[in-house]
Structure 1
């Protein structure tokens, strides 16, 4: 009884400390100690094994995925510094017009994140540009936050096949699948997330206009707007999209070549490269991101004079997202050692639920506990996924459904990405969380359940 109360207390304290802005490493370590003490775990093993270096330890995760975070951050820095990301945003804005401001925000964020630019870079890059759009359209900031989150934090993160997102890579590296696993069901879920998400924010904008609610500027907006710089310095859009196309091309080309021919018996360098791409779900997308960064250097002359600075800052930018994700996984590594977690796992595995619904519930709850979709997905893959494979779920289906499920309840109020988005935009949970909940929690849950229903109807679940 005390152990279960300790688990709840640790989770409640983690949520409270995250909302109060406490450093996530300090918060996760304190909460891990609360869980350890109330569950009778030895403190030395908690601090030296379960939290940092066990199978679900913070630094076990950080070591495994360091290269992907590093390459993704460098690519994001290259796209931001060269102003290629800005160029793409401006081109889409000119094409769609101010009256489609919400669609502009969603589309640009979706394109950039699907192309490999990390979410935090996209949000930080888009907001200074978005201020001008919101002012001209008289759009409430809470709806801009929701629209950009639809593009950057839902379907491109967990559902669409081929993306070098950490969620796609975690599933592939854990299950031995590739980045395109369960592609068709991912596209189905993505259409639901994107369609319902845009319907929600557009409906919200119509209601806001009817009630006289509009854009309210503050001092932070004026500071952020200065970061947008001079639009005339941005490269042409047709050059700006090339690095994104290169990243996706490097990831997708091996899959296409393998589909067109049998390379299993060939000893050529091309055949070896194709086989390497299929068995290296971390190294291959990392390589694609670095190639994209080098393309930025070739295309954008201003980048060449500060190559070392851009790559160095990108490397520094990778540290905090990696460490923050690792911290919540370290907390989860302690939680998984408790009797309460074992009881939860056994209850879920033995529950009278269809296997895919059990996957959805398990991945969702674990992601909710740690407030991180990538952290929750890693914990799920390490602790529960093998049991679902034994039940007969195909690895490709488990890959996609677990990834989609992890991107729902993760976005509760203590989610780091939600908090960071609100800080960047100068919003509070009271002002904007209702809309964020709708597009990043409720709608992804609906999409995942609809995908499971379709698979079950087809006899695949």
Structure 2
């Protein structure tokens, strides 16, 4: 009994510490210690093996995905510094109007994240533009957080096929599938998330206007100045690097679709590239992002002279998102080493629930425990995915539905991404979390269950 109480208390404490603004790395260590003591685990083994270096250790995860995080952050940095990202978003603003600020934010974030820009970098890139749009539309900042979350943390993160996001790469590595696995299910889930999300945002926008809520900048917002390069770049030119990244990621799939699997059997350069692209689910998207960064540096003179410094700064941008994610995975690594977790896994695998529903509850709870979709997905793929494959679930279906299921309870208050977003925007959980929770928790769960129903029917 004490072991189960310790597991529940550790998750509750992790959420509480996150709400209080405690550093997520420190919080993960404190809560890991609570798990260790309540479950009578070896302190030495827990903090030298399970937490940092085990199969699900923090640095095991960080080492495996460092290159993807780094290349994504570098691409986001050069896109932001060159003004290309802002040019794309401002083009949307001119065509849709400032009153469509929430639509613009969602579409711009979706385009950036689907192109491979790391979510944390999108937050920094979009916030200056978001301030301008919110001021023109006179909308409260809390709705910007919700729109940012919808565009960068829902359908483009876990549902849309082809995205180079970590959440699409993890199941690809574990199951041997490609980034387009379960494409139709992903498209169906994306439509549900986007439709419900925009309905909620528009409803909240109208209610805010009726209540007289207005844009209220803080001191940091007032000090921020608009980058003059935003109005000087052509959106068509700014879009080229994004097309390069997406094109490189899509090209192997197109070649296989057009020419069939026999193209992989050749010995030419094309065949070798296709073999590499299909076998290296982390390296190929990483190289695509890196090449996209090089294209930006070659195209825009404003960043060309600072190429190395900007790439270096981008690499630094990736460290905290990577370490924060790795820290909660390390906490999950300690949790999964307990007898209670083992019994929970056996219970879910042996339950009378349909396999897809059992999978949904399993991965949702794991993502909720570690406060990270990528963390929960990694743990699930390492510990439980083979059992669900053995139950007869198609690998492509498991890839897509597992990725979507990971994007629900991952956004509880202790999520590193949630904490980072509120830090950047200068808001508190009390001010903005309700809207973000509806967008990133409630709606993705509805979309996943709806898509699972389709999978069960078809």
Which of these residues, 229, 249, 252, is aligned with residue 250 of structure 2? 252
1:301 to 2:301 alignment: yes
Match of 1:136 in 2: 136
Give per-residue Cα distances to partners, 1:200-245, cap 9 Å, x unaligned.
000111112222222222212213x32x311456421111111111
8 Å CA contact retained: 2:264, 2:272: no
Secondary structure at the counterpart of residue 235 of structure 1: coil
- 1:20 is displaced (CA, Å) by 2.0
8 Å CA contact retained: 2:178, 2:281: yes
Match of 1:182 in 2: 182
Match of 1:91 in 2: 91
Match of 1:213 in 2: 213
Secondary structure at the counterpart of residue 440 of structure 2: helix
Where structure 2 has 5 or more consecutive residues not aligned to the other structure, the ranges are: none
Match of 1:5 in 2: 5
Report the Cα distance in structure 2 between the residues aligned to 1:144 and 1:439, rounded to whole angstroms.
12
**Greater displacement, 206-215 / 301-310:** 206-215
Report the Cα distance in structure 2 between the residues aligned to 1:26 and 1:208, rounded to whole angstroms.
37
8 Å CA contact retained: 1:86, 1:234: no
Secondary structure at the counterpart of residue 49 of structure 1: helix
Match of 1:104 in 2: 104
Secondary structure at the counterpart of residue 352 of structure 2: coil
Match of 1:270 in 2: 270
- 1:157 is displaced (CA, Å) by 0.5
Report the Cα distance in structure 2 between the residues aligned to 1:437 and 1:209, rounded to whole angstroms.
21
Q: How many residues align?
A: 456
Q: How does 1:305-454 map to 2 (within 5 A)?
A: 305-454=305-454
Match of 1:121 in 2: 121
Report the Cα distance in structure 2 between the residues aligned to 1:127 and 1:65, rounded to whole angstroms.
26
- Provide the TM-score with structure 1 as the length reference: 0.97
What is the RMSD of the two structures over their aligned residues, measured on CA atoms?
A: 1.2
- 1:414 is displaced (CA, Å) by 1.3
- 1:421 is displaced (CA, Å) by 1.2
- 1:119 is displaced (CA, Å) by 1.0
Secondary structure at the counterpart of residue 242 of structure 2: helix
- 1:263 is displaced (CA, Å) by 0.8
- Provide the TM-score with structure 2 as the length reference: 0.98
Where structure 1 has 5 or more consecutive residues not aligned to the other structure, the ranges are: none
- 1:246 is displaced (CA, Å) by 0.4
Report the Cα distance in structure 2 between the residues aligned to 1:32 and 1:311, rounded to whole angstroms.
35
Report the Cα distance in structure 2 between the residues aligned to 1:8 and 1:115, rounded to whole angstroms.
38
Report the Cα distance in structure 1 between the residues aligned to 2:316 and 2:215, rounded to whole angstroms.
34
**Greater displacement, 117-126 / 194-203:** 117-126
Q: Which runs of 4+ in 1 moved over 3 A?
A: 231-234
Secondary structure at the counterpart of residue 389 of structure 2: helix
Q: How does 1:279-298 map to 2 (within 5 A)?
A: 279-298=279-298
8 Å CA contact retained: 1:235, 1:300: no
Report the Cα distance in structure 2 between the residues aligned to 1:448 and 1:149, rounded to whole angstroms.
17
- 1:134 is displaced (CA, Å) by 1.2
